[in-house]
Structure 1
């Protein structure tokens, strides 16, 4: 297959990203945190998850076809542009009400995910990608960079990656990524992630980091995988409590910190940690099968606004590899994919021959 015909952002990318993250964590476990490397049980569980995810992809790839997709004509360029600007204004007001810039203050950062932010971030993310997908114009790339900057000031790398990563994938499928623009975009994403992560770590009270920005990335991967390592013996012992917290109230990540490490801290526990703690290996199997099949189906609908929606879901699935699916706001982005499927259900066909 020629390189230019290869679909770099198909769902199989998630498997590649998981393996890269595992390798980084394994290296980090030697160099920056542990006396012993990650246990074989962790590695085997993650490899098993990748196989199940792949099975979900293959099942949909072979058995489902899409004739065409439906456009939503009420989403005018003017409406989408107005909503993007409204989102930027809301996030700016959020920082005004907080009284400072959370990126430089760990206390402000802990309170930065307010209800205003919960509206502003998904609003910007969704409308920006739909605007690019439906009415691409080079000048809108300035809004992408501005959004990454303003939301990046909240101190969370995931916001920067969510905005820049999804926009990059949208532009890729629109065939608007030249080699020069691609290099610039990837450089901005890389520098943005390193910068936000490093600055935020330096602003944490009572912590003094000696790692450089690159070392910090390997350390975070190792630490997150260590959390999952400690979760495995506790698999299925929370009986769905984390899932119920996601769709009600409370902080799932803080609960995991208390339950697993026995101290009050907000923890990331990988894509696999929360569901494994709640439902064990059976729950993990169901989650990975669903994600593989769902992503592949949305990938088949990536035309028109479907491009923007797929880009958002793919990007945040990649983010979940470290953080875990513990935020109801991000599950809302998966709901967008479900809406896309429902809108286009008349065009989705089940192939009688599974090898089509």
Structure 2
């Protein structure tokens, strides 16, 4: 029996503003309860609401002007080829951990060096191909590969990898009509527990920090801290003149740069979906980014009716949702948007 609310499109691009507002509420609550001197100010809240409104406008524009309803087919991606390369991705990530000399999840020093070139190949390869495999050749047995991927990449110590894999697969299966009530509950529990556990274990492995918060409190704290960083960015809006964007597509660490620039100490920071673009280009940049994301996600969503379009949309949506906290500061994730652009071009191409 299919999911009883199957007719409701839970993963329409409108889920982005819903999650943004949920993060804002949780962060606001967290800013009261923990070490912050004051709760989030009105300007921060209104700026985020403004960003949400612009995103929604982008979705509405795309719904009326740019909808593409067509299945994109890539015939050379056979079932066997997909499975082989998925296993290769798991092997590469396992080799990455071996070469690091330990498990990054339990060692903050190893974690800081865990996103190697091997990982940069293995993670997107696994993420993209497991979703395409399920979208084209769904079989329950392939869920074993999904769990293996979540485990192997989760050992890197980054909960975003686990959420990226499990979240995108969940959305893919939803659009395939494969999510029963029981399976849906199991998936949500695994995603939630996995993300909480990795975030908590990783925080405990930092030798210079001593956390007394439990895993749930830590979530509220992290969201509050991320939004507090964004609050400190707003008065500095537009002062980096595109430097963060250039770092994303060259060398350096945008998050570390933000830590030095905003808080004046050497730390890698998440600054929300809005922080990097606000620092670089101010409110004009924020408006363009949110409008683009709204239009782009809706166009890709219109291709998520069958075939690989489902898998690609699931990947892009999941990582956009992850960006709400972490910020779009990783070139590998922008590569996923490029993948979406290729999908659009293939859809527009005449048969």
TM range (shorter): over 0.9
Root-mean-square deviation (CA, aligned residues, Å) is: 1.1
Residue 130 of structure 1 corresponds to which residue in structure 2?
Answer: 132
SS of equivalent residue, structure 2 residue 67:
strand
Equivalent pair of 1:228/1:273 in contact (CA under 8 Å): yes
**Is the 8 Å Cα contact of residues 33 and 223 (structure 1) preserved in structure 2?**
no
Give the superposition deviation at 1:346: 4.0
Match of 1:234 among 231, 236, 248: 236
Cα distance, 1:5 vs. partner?
A: 1.3
1:155 aligns with 2:157: yes
TM-score (norm 1): 0.96
Measured after TM superposition, the shift of residue 62 of structure 1 is 1.4
> In the TM superposition, what are the counterparts of 1:178-327 in structure 2 within 5 Å?
178-302=180-304, 303-327=306-330
Match of 2:85 in 1: 83
Deviation at 1:3, TM superposition (A): 4.1
SS at match of 1:33: coil
Q: How far is 1:35 from its partner?
A: 2.8
Question: What residue in structure 2 maps to residue 141 of structure 1?
Answer: 143
1:337 paired residue number? 340
User: Is 2:259–2:269's contact at 8 Å kept on the other side of the alignment?
Assistant: yes
Q: Distance in 1 between matches of 2:151 and 2:32?
A: 34
Superposition misfits of 4+ residues, deviation over 3 angstroms:
none
CA contact 2:26–2:220 (8 Å) conserved in 1: yes
Instruction: Please say if residues 253 and 267 of structure 1, whose CA atoms lie closer than 8 Å, have aligned partners that are also in contact.
Output: yes
The answer to whether the aligner puts 1:52 opposite 2:67 as a matched pair is no
In 2, the alpha carbon distance for the partners of 1:228 and 1:176 equals 39
Distance 1:70 1:114 in 2: 32
Of 115, 119, 126, 1:117 maps to 119
Q: Separation in 1 of the partners of 2:58 and 2:24?
A: 21
Give SS of 2:292's match. helix
Asked if 1 retains the 8 angstrom alpha-carbon contact of 2:69 and 2:302, the reply is no
In 2, Cα distance between the equivalents of 1:67 and 1:37? 45
Contact persistence 2:69–2:303 (CA under 8 A): no
Alpha-carbon offset, residue 36 of structure 1: 1.3
- How far did residue 67 of structure 1 move? 4.1
| Cα separation, 2, equivalents of 1:102 and 1:197 | 12
Structure 1 unpaired stretches of 5+: 348-356
- TM-score for the superposition, normalised by structure 2: 0.97
Count of residues in correspondence between the two structures: 347
Helix, strand or coil at the partner of 1:225: helix
Q: How does 1:163-178 map to 2 (within 5 A)?
A: 163-178=165-180
Q: Separation in 2 of the partners of 1:295 and 1:279?
A: 22
Q: Secondary structure at the match of 1:208?
A: coil
Deviations 1:264-308 (A, max 9, x none): 100000000000000000000000000000000000011210000
